[in-house]
Structure 1
Amino acid sequence: MENITLEFISDRDLYQSYMPFMKHGGLFIRTTEQFELATDINLTVTLPDSLEPSEIKGKVTWITPIGAQNGTPAGIGVSFVEDPDNVRNQIDKLIGRLLNSSEPTLSM
């Protein structure tokens, strides 16, 4: 199982990475490291203005390779599998006003 630590400084950064279309939520992680689909991931996530990180278990469900069209950065999408701290709801509250934005994200 891979371990990845993420710290989001602003709501906009979080919005750019959030994948609300995943059944239980997910995050896009910029990386040039090679991953296989369905790889188990342990995420340690610190949200904006949060004092403590949260742990999430996830799976790689999206891969954007290096050199993707439209200048999209390389990375992986990790869908949440176990979210004991209910990070998805915390994210929805933090960036709810941005979710209907026409601004593109890193995954769509």
Structure 2
Amino acid sequence: MAAQKALSLTIQDIPTLLSAYMPALERGGIFVPTRERYELGQEVFLLLTLPDETERVPVTGRVVWVSPEGVSGRRVPGIGIHFSAEDQGVRDHIENLLAGQLDKGTATYTL
């Protein structure tokens, strides 16, 4: 398996966070736009900045979704990262930011 890679993602607003968040995953996850190649199951380290915040939150996880460059439709190339068990606080914080919006059927980067 490939070595762990480090990424950085700044999400500017709540609509973008709603499109990037992956609530169907057991521990939550986030879509990270990137043109770099990743493998399913690859471990990644992410510095995540959420809307209206300046602190970068460290997150570790595994790649569970890959949208390669040139993917059909209007999909953005990137990866979906499933948060580790240690990042439950990040999931809880994101879901608080998105309170009342997760069940509205908004289009996402993955599904």
Name the TM-score, length of structure 2 as normaliser.
Answer: 0.89
- Asked if 2 retains the 8 angstrom alpha-carbon contact of 1:31 and 1:74, the reply is yes
Corresponding residue for residue 41 of structure 2: 38
| Secondary structure of 2:47's aligned partner | strand
Q: Does 1:28 align with 2:35?
A: no
Once the two structures are superposed, residues 7-45 of structure 1 have per-residue CA deviations (whole angstroms, 9 ceiling, x without a partner) of 111111111100001110100111111111111101111
Kindly tell me the number of residue pairs found equivalent between the two proteins.
108
Q: How far apart are 1:62 and its partner, in Å?
A: 0.7
Gaps of 5+ in 1: none
Gaps of 5+ in 2: none
Query: Moved runs in structure 1, 4+ residues, more than 6 A?
Result: none
Name the TM-score, length of structure 1 as normaliser.
Answer: 0.91
Q: 1:51 to 1:66 in 2, by over 3 A?
A: closer
Identical pairs, percent = 31
CA-atom RMSD, angstroms?
A: 1.4
User: Counterpart of 1:90 in structure 2: which amino acid?
Assistant: H
- Asked if 2 retains the 8 angstrom alpha-carbon contact of 1:55 and 1:85, the reply is no
Q: 1:83 to 1:15 in 2, by over 3 A?
A: farther
